[in-house]
Chain A
Amino acid sequence: MYAGHAAVALVLKTREPRVPIAVLVAACFGPDWVELFLGLSIGRSAGEAYSHFIPGVLVGALLAATLYKIVLRLPGARYVALAWLLHWPADFLTAHKPLLDPTHIVGLDLYDLPAIDFTIEGLLVIGCAFLYARSFATGRAQRRWVAAMALTLLVIQGVLDYGLSNQPWRSWNPSLAQGRRQPHLTVAAASPARPADPHGSCTLARTHSASERCRMTDHGAW
């Protein structure tokens, strides 16, 4: 996610106005900053994995909040941590991100459906900008600045999604589980001598109907 992360910072600002907005926005993109610098030192793939897997996000949030408290000595450190933590569920919508194991990635992969991604992030930007304006923009000139900010974020997001839509080699591939062969427990438990491979592919099916078709074609296995 991109503009959506920035939008989250606007809402967090309404909850704790004493936290500088630049700190909140930076924290909302925290794991991406870590990915950038880790990628420079240990390689791009490793940088992405270790910056975005859940233990890494937790450690990053804790360190960011602690650093904020020590350096800036301002209230609201928990909102800095929250901004950092909210990065992962937002990225779950748009890409594939690791869970506890850096190699086990899951996500709805909406970057490969750019129109839907733009819609979701656009709605997030508009909604969060509205909440921000309700708290801080009481005059017309102020609301114009909020509108200009939201529009700028939408334009940048639009350019990114347009770029994504012009990559025809990409295909939508949402994933909620590890994509590897695994025999059904009934096959492995009932007939140990029987090879588990023939129906291992059923577990790779993305849709329940594919698994049902598999069951219908080989009654002996079931």
Chain B
Amino acid sequence: MDLTEGVLHLFGLVSQWNTRARGFGLLLLLPVVVIAVADWRVRRRR
């Protein structure tokens, strides 16, 4: 059980954490990570 499943288990939602939900969650996280890293690199050099 990974960290995400562990948290969801607390709320009784782990049975719904299927492939689609994982994929959707990953898609939502990707732009946050991409832009946060780029913004950090850009503004660090100022």
Bitwise interface map of A from 39 to 64 toward B, beta carbon under 8 Å scored 1, else 0: 11100000000000000000000000
Number of interface residues of A (CB under 8 A): 31
Q: Which of B8, B31, B46 contacts A153 (CB 8 A)?
A: B31
* Chain A residues within 8 Å of B27, by CB: 2
- Pick from A68-76, A134-142, A164-172, A201-209 the stretch touching chain B: A134-142
Q: List, in ascending order, chain B residues with CB within 8 A of A32's CB.
A: 24, 28
Known contacts A36-B21, A39-B21, A148-B38; A25 and B32 CB within 8 A of each other:
yes
Contact B42 A40 (CB under 8 A): no
A36 to B18, CA, bound (A): 11
Query: B17 touching A137 by the CB < 8 A rule?
Result: no
- Assembled-state Cα–Cα distance A138/B24 (Å): 35
Q: Which residue of A is nearest B11, CB measured?
A: A41
Q: Determine whether the beta carbon of A21 is less than 8 Å from that of B35.
A: yes
Our pick among A36, A41, A138, A153 for the contact of B25 (Cβ within 8 Å) is: A36
B41–chain A nearest beta-carbon distance, Å: 5
User: How many B residues face the partner with a CB closer than 8 A?
Assistant: 24
Question: Are A25 and B42 in touch, CB under 8 angstroms?
Answer: no
Q: Are A138 and B8 in contact (CB under 8 A)?
A: no
Whether B2 is near chain A, meaning CB under 8 Å from some CB there, is: no
Contact partner, B28, options A33, A145, A152, Cβ 8 Å:
A33
Q: What are the residues of chain B within 8 A of A136 when measuring CB–CB?
A: 39, 42-43, 46
The 4 closest A-B pairs by CB, nearest first: A149-B38, A6-B31, A21-B39, A40-B16
Q: List the interface of chain B (C-beta within 8 A of A).
A: 8, 11, 13, 16-17, 21, 24-25, 27-28, 30-32, 34-39, 41-43, 45-46
Contact residues of A with B, CB < 8 Å?
Answer: 2-3, 5-6, 9-10, 13, 21-22, 25-26, 29, 32-33, 36, 39-41, 136-139, 141-142, 145-146, 148-149, 152-153, 156
